Amino acid sequence: MFIRFKYKLKDRMDMNFYDLYVPVDDIEEAVETAMKMNFSGIGPAHRYDNKKMLNKYLEEMDNLGGDLDIDLVRCCEIKADNPRDMKNKIGKTRQKVDVILVKGGNFDINTAATRDRRVDILLHPEHRRKDTGMDHKTAKMAAEKNVTIGFVMHDLHQTYGKVRSHVINHIRKSIELCEKYGVQFIVVSGARDIYGMRGPRELASLPKVLGVDPSKAMDTVSTVPHKIVKNNRKKLGGRIKKGGVERL
């Protein structure tokens, strides 16, 4: 189903590849695999449950950091029962991690996530739905609030036949909405273990086969996720004030 890209060596060297959603148990093993796959950065995602477990995750990430030749991105996945629960969990985690990801699927959660500037990525808004989980209103709001839509490769690998066809169709329609209203989108692996991890070009092949321009498809695993991480670290470091004005 997916195609491979061919790029000049110079293009490869100039790109920073990121996978910002790798919810694995063995972080060290995933990091080693990501380096072999030519990733510049990886986000071993922690699903927020309580403060104690979050601190344990952050400590493990700090211990792994060291002199590794890869950017370890602290990513926190928010799985919420309702919009209020989502906001509450974001409030407890926003200042402690580089990237906040909200698990989508529920339309109310999808809508609330696209309205919240603290959310970096709304994951698979079409998850377990019979539609895209988005409409023109949520797309417009995502563009205004700078919320990125994340399409998860793992979702496709867990489906077959007609179900997979429906998922692909929903992702295609979501991409069309994103492109129409100027919403950023990325592709992530969503790998639960190293066997579910995919290289940058395989991830980028998803939007490519759905009609996205090849260079823009590569942006979904390079320029866009790298920008999210870079800008958030500036904000967390106090370099960007409220309103988007950068402190030099």
Q: Could you read off the pLDDT tens digit of each residue along the chain, which spans 248 residues?
A: 333 334 343 344 468 999 999 999 999 999 999 999 999 999 999 999 999 999 999 999 999 877 788 999 999 999 999 999 999 999 999 999 999 999 999 999 999 999 999 999 999 999 989 889 999 999 999 999 999 999 999 988 888 888 889 899 999 999 999 999 999 999 999 999 999 999 999 999 999 999 999 999 999 999 999 999 999 999 888 765 555 555 55
Domain ranges of the chain: 17-233
Query: Tokens for 191?
Result: 């790998």
User: The sheet that has 185-188: what strands, in order across it?
Assistant: 45-47, 75-78, 99-103, 121-123, 148-152, 185-188
Strand partners, 139: none
**Residue 202, helix vs strand vs coil:** helix
d(CA 94, CA 92): 6
- The whole-model pTM stands at 0.91
Structure tokens at 52: 């104690």
Residues in CB range of 144: below 8 A, 6 or more apart: none
196 touches 157 (CB < 8 A): yes
Q: What is the DSSP letter of 133?
A: S
Enclosing H/E stretch for 112: helix 107-114
Assess contact for 102 and 145: CB atoms under 8 A.
no
Instruction: Compute how many other C-beta atoms are within 10 angstroms of the C-beta atom of residue 145.
Output: 15
DSSP code of residue 247: P
CATH architecture group of domain 17-233: Alpha-Beta Barrel (3.20)
Please calculate the CA angle 24-26-32 and round it to the nearest 5 degrees. 100
**Residues 123/135, Cβ–Cβ less than 8 Å:** no
